[in-house]
Amino acid sequence: MTVAATEVLIVGAGPTGLVLACDLARRGIRFEIVERADRALPGSRGTGVQPRTQEVFEDLGVLDDMRAAGGPCQLMLSWDGETPLGTWDLVERRAPDPRVPYGEVLMLPQWRTVELLTDRLRALGGRVRYGAELTDLVQDPDGVTARLRHGDGSHTLRAAYAVAADGGRSAHRKAVGVALTGDDVDPSPALVADVAVEGLDRDHWHMWPHAEGGVFLLRPLEGTDLYQLVARFDTARETPDADPEAVRRLIARRTGQPRLRLREVAWASVHQARAALADRFRAGRVFLAGDAAHVHTAAGGQGMNTSVQDAYNLGWKLGRVLRHGADDALLDTYEEERRPVAADVLGISTRIHRSYRRAREDAGAGRGRDLQQLELGYRGGPLSRELRPGLAEDALQAGDRAPDAPCVDRSGAPTRLFEAFRGPHFTLLAFGATALPAPFADGAAVRALRVGRPGQDADLVDVDGHAHQAYAAHGLFLVRPDGYVGLAGADPHSVRDYLR
């Protein structure tokens, strides 16, 4: 038996746990991230990285590698047996613009996302402890005590806080007695598998919407020679079976194309579409994040993205409490902000799944900008202070995502607002003649920048006017470390009051 101490225990090393670990690592927070499996989880699972999540990954320094490994969402090609029926688009296309640098979903197998986040964590000085299973968790007013079982015995770990990021069946959630409330969205099970198939092009997602037994899909997985197989089972006469011979028969029967040849089943999973939400996201010193807090259907590609946003919201708050003296009550805002968002996104995923059942050729119905997570925010939330009266509903307000914009710095070099935001700090933008507060102490972790027009003395020069247009041309905007406007107003004293 060994006993160790840390500041944050993270249980689960999927995208949620890894994003939180990367964020804590760059803040100098001591943590342990443990995973019950003896290696990173295989399988394509969640494959769509939405535009807002790409912005998170840019901030964490991993997006360039992800974009190099991934690709765009390809056109769908519908089939009736061996007859192609034509192509159609699953997603709404949006070109990048000055405010939104990433306009479309990025497709990338989840195992590759995990691999790249693990590499980034290693570069930040962290590592995952694999083969470590949580067997007991007890908390008291000062922290949590966790017992972990692994190959060389038991390990007792003491931490100030713990985060459950261990999936929908979370042992961590059960240990603190939080219920997951929800329903089966669809009575029909589905098989998801990563397979090597010969006889199909890799330029489309191939879909058989009227296949006998249920919808059938084969889509190329980026950076591999594999396809993701998705098969629904609408009748009781056929049940999911991941055995390679059963998968071979399934492909032949659903596609009606004898020329297709299965070479390998690399990974497979049977699941039931479900939507569920944890009754609480915080229980004392324990937080729930990702699938441990909300379980989505696969429709719309929202589960992993919502989970990443959970970790991104929680990381900076833990940093403020553990390093900058913030009151523990700040951590209550994690649930207050994220649980309503998760509830809304669950509704979107469920709606898309049910529209998919009603009209199979219209499976893209509703897959527009609401899936990109760019419009999600925290207006009216506990950390949003909007001090400007009479704003139009569509104006940028406290609680909204802070837009990007191209600028140049004092040396004349091109830069962006997102470059100014990048890192674990708050960013204060001052437009127009608005006065900046007196310099902040280093411990406040605030970067203050004046944004001006050409010819003005400014830290960032808005050459083309995009920043002034996005931020209404005047005032103070305090941007949180997770890229949302925390405060908008004109009084420098309000910034200090907000931070206090």
Is it the case that residue 367 has pLDDT exceeding 60? Answer: no
Q: How do 216-220 and 227-232 pair as beta strands?
A: antiparallel
Tell me how far apart the alpha carbons of residues 86 and 403 are, in angstroms, rounded to a whole number: 38
**Which of 8-17, 218-227, 299-308, 484-493 has the weakest average pLDDT?**
299-308
Same domain, 367 and 413: no
Is it the case that residue 474 has pLDDT exceeding 90? Answer: no
Same domain, 339 and 401: no
Amino acid at 363: A
Q: Among 316, 345, 371, where does a domain finish?
A: 371
Tell me how far apart the alpha carbons of residues 281 and 293 are, in angstroms, rounded to a whole number: 6
pLDDT in tens, 349-360: 666 665 555 444
Q: Among 340, 371, 402, where does a domain finish?
A: 371
Cα torsion 176, 182, 187, 193: sign: negative
Q: Is residue 286 part of a domain?
A: yes
Q: Is residue 36 part of a domain?
A: yes
Same domain, 346 and 452: no
Residues 393, 381, 488: CA angle, nearest 5 degrees: 60
- What is the pLDDT averaged over residues 61-82? 97
Same domain, 288 and 401: no
Q: Is residue 377 part of a domain?
A: no
- The CATH number of residue 329's host domain is 3.50.50.60
Same domain, 429 and 353: no
Same domain, 28 and 119: yes
Q: Among 342, 371, 400, where does a domain finish?
A: 371
Q: Is residue 48 part of a domain?
A: yes
Average pLDDT of every residue of the chain = 91
Structurally, how many domains does the chain consist of? 2
Residue 42 near residue 111 (C-beta atoms within 8 A): yes
Task: State pTM to two decimals.
Answer: 0.94
Residues 166, 168, 172: CA angle, nearest 5 degrees: 45
Same domain, 132 and 174: yes
- The CATH number of residue 459's host domain is 3.40.30.120
Q: Is residue 314 part of a domain?
A: yes
Same domain, 322 and 429: no
Q: Is residue 280 part of a domain?
A: yes
Q: Is residue 331 part of a domain?
A: yes
Range of the domain at 11: 2-68+107-180+275-371
Task: Specify the residue for token string 């459950």.
Answer: 164
Q: Is residue 231 part of a domain?
A: no
Residues 193, 195, 199: CA angle, nearest 5 degrees: 135
Question: For position 472, what pLDDT does the model report?
Answer: 84
What is the percentage of the chain residues whose pLDDT exceeds 70? 93
Same domain, 367 and 391: no
Same domain, 113 and 18: yes
